[in-house]
Chain A
Amino acid sequence: MYARLCTWKTILRICLEERLVYRGDFALGTLMRFLPIVTQIFLWSAIFAARSEDTLAGYTYHDMVAYYLLTMVARAFSSMPGLASGIALQIRTGEIKKFIIQPIDLLGFLLLNRIAHKAVYYTVATLPFAFVFFLCRDYFEISPDLPRVAAFVASLLMGFLLGYFLEASIGLIGFWFLEVSSLLFVYMLFSFFLSGHMFPLDMLPEPFHTLVDLSPLKYMAYFPAAILLGKIPAESLVPELALEAAWLAFFVVLSRYLYRRGLTRYSGFGG
């Protein structure tokens, strides 16, 4: 057990050092990522100005701006750039052999890698995030109680794990398809529009709203933001979080299953 902890610590340290090489570029990139939100703010301001009512699908203008900022936080947890394509590439090039030979678990190793990646990201990105949130502080007309904040934090952490195991599952399909880029593209397309990254999912008309509400994609962006903004009633918080945990368990089992089945199919040649 102690040896395993040491291994994890070493992996984390290596990944942390690797990620901190380009920190200046990183901070600037994070700040630039807020630029599209500027246009979104203007767009929604124009939309609200043209309407006679103050709210749209239950959102005031200030809610809407706060929503977009909060989805940025949620996406910072749940997005996994390069994970699925990286796994598929390792399968294709045969690099995955090293996980078969060495006593290291692929999914565990990559998870630690992501944790390190995210830890560095939050350390460097906290400043730009704090700066933008400070500038936009007037848009947050919320005073969440402790359970709501706890639910928000839980949804962010589960969002991270859900994003990881979902994308890992897509990458592991590479055992069968080798090239998953078109599959990944379909996932990205749906994830971009149906995770709530583009607009609050409450805007969707029926039956789309119910369908999207049941999908795991909403936990990637919409759900944490909606919790903090009070769009999820207090009594639904626990059932909703339980549903998220169920989706998470499903993708953990699925990725394990795919990895095990995939390895039996896999054949590596040469050095």
Chain B
Amino acid sequence: MSDQPSYWKVFLTFARNSLVRDMTFRVNFLIQCVTSMCWALMNLGFYLLIFHYTAQIGPDSGWGKHEFFVFLATTWMINSVVQAFFMPNAQEFSELIRTGGLDFALLKPIDTQFLISFQKVEWSSLSNFGVALVLLAYSLWELTHRAADPLVINPAMALLYPMYLAFGVCILYSLMISLAATSIWLGRNQTLYNFWFYITNFSRYPMEIYQGGFGDPLRIVFTYLIPILVVVNVPARLLAQPISSRDSWAPLAAFAVVATVGSLLGSRWVFKRALLSYRSASS
């Protein structure tokens, strides 16, 4: 028998346990699914209203109605995965630090970051992933079947899109785990969720909208320093605006790879440093 735990098997156990717990309260689970879908649909309503008044977001940005819906679907997919797998755990982590429960996680013969990152899965959050897939399929159908300049999806796009989705999830995960780790220093981090919401709010729109004296520095900070703008922008642009000649996005796509690796390594470093400062809360 090997000393190394099988991480995949442990993860599957976590996922199964969470599913069993969710299925114990089936109606509650269904209500959660429906409610998160309602928020998404209301949001869609807001954008439909906006496109009632304008043909695109930003002059000559190329983000017309269906292109933007591809963007929106991408946002929902990435967020639903993050919310399903990481959000409940990050919140739990802050609580573990405050109550001293982290002692038990540290004692287990498995990587602590893995243990606290994957322990819980909120399956109901994945319902938005389904809604996003429908919206994506509809928008792509509209884009590929429009009369003028129809979109052509090539195999490279089909391959790169899910890959960049995964990169986006990794960047958001890194940011979240770093934020959660700060609660070791702060004692308690109740505003974690708020802060998270306010920061990721910037990633919900095409980066072209951040322009002007205040917008340019904002765009640069949130692209290169805290790379949340590449999370949705790169995969969405890859699919919706592949032959954009306005500015070449290839460097940005390459940077997204660097940003993903950098974020993961950075968050790992922050997490380890934070653990070193942990002084158990129990007696």
* Size bracket of the B interface: 20 to 34
Q: How many residues of A contact B (CB 8 A)?
A: 27
B53 x A47 contact (CB < 8 A): yes
A193 located at the interface, meaning its Cβ lies under 8 Å from any Cβ of chain B in the complex: yes
Residue of B nearest to A48 (CB): B54
Q: Is the interface of B mostly helix, strand, loop or mixed?
A: helix
Number of inter-chain CB pairs below 8 Å: 74
A47 x B54 contact (CB < 8 A): yes
CA distance A35 to B197 in the complex (A): 10
- Of the listed stretches A73-81, A123-131, A198-206, A241-249, chain B binds A198-206
Q: Contact check: which of A36, A46, A203, A205 meets B58 at CB < 8 Å?
A: A46
Q: Contact check: which of A50, A185, A205 meets B52 at CB < 8 Å?
A: A205
B14 located at the interface, meaning its Cβ lies under 8 Å from any Cβ of chain A in the complex: no
B195 located at the interface, meaning its Cβ lies under 8 Å from any Cβ of chain A in the complex: yes
Q: Contact check: which of A46, A49, A57 meets B53 at CB < 8 Å?
A: A57
Q: Report the minimal beta-carbon distance from B25 to chain A, rounded to whole angstroms.
A: 12
- Of the listed stretches B161-169, B202-210, B252-260, chain A binds B202-210
A29 x B194 contact (CB < 8 A): yes
Interface bits A192-217 vs B (CB < 8 Å: 1, else 0): 11000011000111000000000000
A50 x B205 contact (CB < 8 A): no
B201 x A39 contact (CB < 8 A): yes
B12 located at the interface, meaning its Cβ lies under 8 Å from any Cβ of chain A in the complex: no
CA distance A240 to B198 in the complex (A): 35
Interface bits B48-75 vs A (CB < 8 Å: 1, else 0): 0110111111111100000000000000
A4 located at the interface, meaning its Cβ lies under 8 Å from any Cβ of chain B in the complex: no
Q: Is the interface of A mostly helix, strand, loop or mixed?
A: helix
A204 x B49 contact (CB < 8 A): yes
Residue of A nearest to B219 (CB): A42
B54 x A198 contact (CB < 8 A): no
B198 x A46 contact (CB < 8 A): no
Known contacts: A50-B59, A193-B46. The answer to whether A35 contacts B209 by CB under 8 A is no
Q: Which residues of A contact B5 (CB under 8 A)?
A: none
Q: Report the minimal beta-carbon distance from A162 to chain B, rounded to whole angstroms.
A: 22
Known contacts: A51-B54, A193-B46. The answer to whether A45 contacts B198 by CB under 8 A is no
B35 x A185 contact (CB < 8 A): yes
B58 x A50 contact (CB < 8 A): yes
Q: Which residues of B contact A36 (CB under 8 A)?
A: 198, 201
Q: Contact check: which of A29, A185, A199 meets B49 at CB < 8 Å?
A: A199
B31 located at the interface, meaning its Cβ lies under 8 Å from any Cβ of chain A in the complex: yes
Q: Report the minimal beta-carbon distance from B79 to chain A, rounded to whole angstroms.
A: 15
Q: Which residues of B contact A38 (CB under 8 A)?
A: 218
A189 x B39 contact (CB < 8 A): yes
Q: Which of A47, A56, A189 has the largest number of chain B CB atoms within 10 A?
A: A47
Interface residues of A (CB under 8 A from B): 25, 29, 32, 35-36, 38-39, 42-43, 45-47, 49-51, 56-57, 182, 185, 189, 192-193, 198-199, 203-205
Can you spell out 16 A-B residue pairs with CB atoms less than 8 angstroms apart? A29-B194, A32-B191, A36-B201, A42-B210, A42-B211, A43-B209, A46-B57, A49-B59, A50-B55, A50-B56, A50-B59, A50-B61, A185-B35, A192-B42, A193-B45, A198-B46
